[in-house]
Amino acid sequence: MATTYKDAGVDLDVYRESMSRLPRLMRRTFSPRVLELEGGFAGLFQLDFNSRLFRRGYDDPVLAACTDGVGTKLKVAQKLGVHHTIGIDLVAMCANDALCCGAEPLFFLDYVAMAKDDPAVLEQIVAGVSEGCLQADCALLGGETAIMPDVYRPDEYDLAGFCVGVAERRQVIDGKAIAPGDVVLGVAASGLHSNGYSLVRKVVFEKAGLAIDQHVDELAQTVGEALLTPTRIYARPVRQILNAYNGRRVVHGIAHITGGGLRENLARILPSTVRVQLKPQSWSAPPVFAWLQKLGGIADAEMEQVFNCGVGLALVFNPHFQRTIQEILAAAGMESWIIGEVVEGPGDVVWA
């Protein structure tokens, strides 16, 4: 009897069904800048619009590109059997990084690797990616689905994402303009976002022995709901802030607070001539952080190093612009706080 691809674990008929479910999820994210290419091997995106109404009129555009995944948060999604939010995390981890240099996210590509074809699960995953792209105002331009039965266990999958953005060269934010007298504004995180989940899973499932569907009174939700809260996407209000001053670069630095916490991620954007003094207890963190710390007996220093601790994004700017910036964030439903100030120093971040 002849050996087939299906014998090796890859069913091309099921794969085709999976692919047939994705085009509508992509098209809902398209803007007039997407040039549709049916059956193409790549996605096409024009940098500017053709119409006068929407023309950007770039003078000296610079492209920004970034890539990321969502780490072992995937394990929580797979454990709970909920797959429609993890794609939002994937877009967030990439699009939020692009914002840090002042770029407007343009388009996104995803890579999904699975042990076997599962059209329903793939559709849920990409539905989340599509939703994340809508929140980031970028197009889901294409992607890849790889079926690798010898690499992944049954019901396992992995994700990676790739985002490309654009900024005018004169408006690129590189942190060099950060100066003494600037303030640091922390923008609220929605929860744990997508970092530290190896520690989270060890504490919650191994040490505490909690069930994924167990209700937690102090969180008013189940374990799974708390741990799968999607990463917040900051694209819309940040773009509003950057566009509010007619091209003036009033924001001197932006840091996406991921692994390494506030201090490490802020330090990445500082010139060697300044120091950020953070103000302890100057912001409110979602209750999931206190719950997790108590549950695992995690030291303060470890929490600070591994998690965002309630601040998902940090903006550095002259305090003259504080009111307008906070009003834009509040209108987007995002709480923010002045959490630090910039003084002269050796390019580090300390607690005041």
pLDDT number for residue 40: 81
* β strands within 115-182, DSSP E: 139-147, 157-168
Do 335 and 351 form a contact (C-beta atoms < 8 A)?
no
Domain with CATH 3.30.1330.10 in the chain: 6-171
Tokens standing for 46? 């024009």
Q: Write out pLDDT tens, residues 24-53.
A: 999 999 998 999 888 788 999 999 887 787
How far is residue 187's CA from residue 19's CA, in Å, rounded to a whole number?
38
* pLDDT < 50 positions in the chain: none
Per DSSP bridges, beta strands 274-278 and 348-351 are: parallel
Q: Write out pLDDT tens, residues 138-163.
A: 999 999 999 999 999 988 999 999 99
183-351 CATH, one of 3.40.50.12280, 3.90.1010.10, 3.30.70.240, 3.90.650.10: 3.90.650.10
pLDDT number for residue 65: 98
Which whole-number Å values give the CA distances from 308 to 6, 170, 237, in the listed order? 45, 30, 19
Which helix H or strand E contains 291, and what residues bound it? helix 287-296
Closest to 127 in 3D by CA, of 159, 83, 171, 168: 83
pLDDT number for residue 10: 85
Architecture of domain 6-171 in this structure: 2-Layer Sandwich (3.30)
Closest to 71 in 3D by CA, of 211, 210, 194, 218: 194
Domain with CATH 3.90.650.10 in the chain: 183-351
pLDDT number for residue 272: 97
Do 233 and 87 form a contact (C-beta atoms < 8 A)?
no
pLDDT number for residue 11: 87
How far is residue 196's CA from residue 260's CA, in Å, rounded to a whole number?
9
